[in-house]
Amino acid sequence: MQIISGILLIDKSPGPTSFDVVRRVKGLLKVRKVGHLGTLDPFATGLLVLCLGQATKLAPFLMGEPKTYEAIIRLGVATDTQDLTGEVIAHSDKLPEPEEVFAAAARFVGEIEQIPPMYSAVHHQGQRLYKLARRGQEVERRPRPATIHRLEVVKLALPEVAVTVTCSAGTYIRTLAADLGAALGCGGHLTALRRLAAGPFRVEDALTLEALGQMTLEERRKRLIPLPNCLPGLPAVVVGEGEARRLRQGQAILGLINGFQPGQRVRVLAGPELVAVAQVRHAAGQLALTPLRVFHGSEQ
C-alpha cells in the first residue's frame, strides 16, 4: 500500500474547528493519520500545520517552535472567555492614552507568567478546564511560564489595538489580551486572531480548504512538504543503505559525524529519503548517531 507522508500547510478560515479541518484533509488526501502542530480556535484564522502519515513522528521536534500572530484587542471590555465568544464580565469607559498602551505592551516582552484561562483544554484533576467552566465552576490554576519574543503595536484606534506577537509555544494570546487590559486598568479581550507562522512554516505558503478541494488528488499530494524537508532547522547527515538499515532497526552507528557536538540533533538521509531523526552521543570512545525517530519505506 502506498504511504502518503509529509506536512501540509492550511490557511484556516473563520468558523470551522481545527478538528473539522483535520477531518476534511483526511478525506481529501485519502489518508488515515493526520495530526497537527497546535490548534486554532474556531473564530481564528491562519496557519494550521498538519502532519500526515509518518510526519506525525516529527511533532515532538516541531511543537516547541515559536509562533507568530496578528491579533486585535478590544480595550475597555473584559469577557469570561477572554475573547469575543464570551459573556461580558466588566466594562470601563475610561481608556488609556496611546503612550500608555505602547509602554504597557513593551513590559510584556520577555519571560512572563500566564494563568491558563478557564476556557482552555488544560487538565484539572482529570477534567478539561473548559468543561468545568461550562458548568459554572472556576478552580485555582497555577501560572505557567511563557516567552514573548516580540509584541509590536502596529495600529492604535482606541478602543482597538492591533498587535503582532511572536511567542513561545503554548502562549495564550487571549490571556495576553486580557492581561494587557488589566495592566492598563480598563480590561480587554481578544476580538481577532490570525496565525502567521509556526517555526519555519509561513501562512504565505498555505492553502485554504476551498483551494485544496478544487485540486485533483495528485495535485493535493504534490502540495505536501516531503519528510526530508520538514525539519529545515536540523543539519543533515547522509548515510549509505547499510547504516540506514541499522538506524531503522534502532541501532546506533559510529564514526560518520565529525564536526557535530554531543547532544546535537540531526536529520539522517539516505538518497532522497529521511531515515531518522537522531542525536549525536558518545559511544565506545567516539561519536555515534542514536536514532530518536525512524522512518520506513518509500514515501510517495
Domain 67-198 in CATH 1.10.1370.40? The answer is: no
pLDDT digits (tens, 9 = 90+) for 212-257: 999 999 999 999 999 999 999 999 999 999 999 999 999 988 866 6
Architecture per CATH, 234-294: Roll (2.30)
Q: Judge whether 41 counts as a catalytic residue.
A: yes
Average pLDDT by consecutive 10-residue portion of the chain (300 residues)?
84 95 95 92 96 94 94 97 93 96 97 77 56 58 90 97 96 96 97 97 97 96 95 91 92 78 91 93 81 76
* Closest by CA position to 173, among listed 198, 186, 187, 192: 192
Residue 281's DSSP bridge partners are 288
Taking a C-beta distance cutoff of 8 angstroms, is the pair 280, 261 a contact?
Answer: yes
DSSP 205: G
- Start-to-end CA distance of the chain, whole Å, equals 11
Domain with CATH 2.30.130.10 in the chain: 234-294
The residues, ordered by sequence, that sit 6+ positions from 240 with a Cβ below 8 Å of its Cβ are 270
Instruction: Read off the C-alpha cell for 258.
Output: 565529525
The model's pTM is 0.90
pLDDT reported for residue 130:
57
pLDDT reported for residue 300:
39
Write the CA distances from 281 to 69, 234, 262, 285, integer angstroms. 37, 16, 5, 10
d(CA 10, CA 35): 13
Q: Which of 11, 20, 41, 80 is catalytic?
A: 41
d(CA 234, CA 126): 36
Taking a C-beta distance cutoff of 8 angstroms, is the pair 189, 1 a contact?
Answer: no
Query: What does CATH list as the number for 6-65+200-227?
Result: 3.30.2350.10
pLDDT reported for residue 150:
97
Domain with CATH 3.30.2350.10 in the chain: 6-65+200-227, 67-198
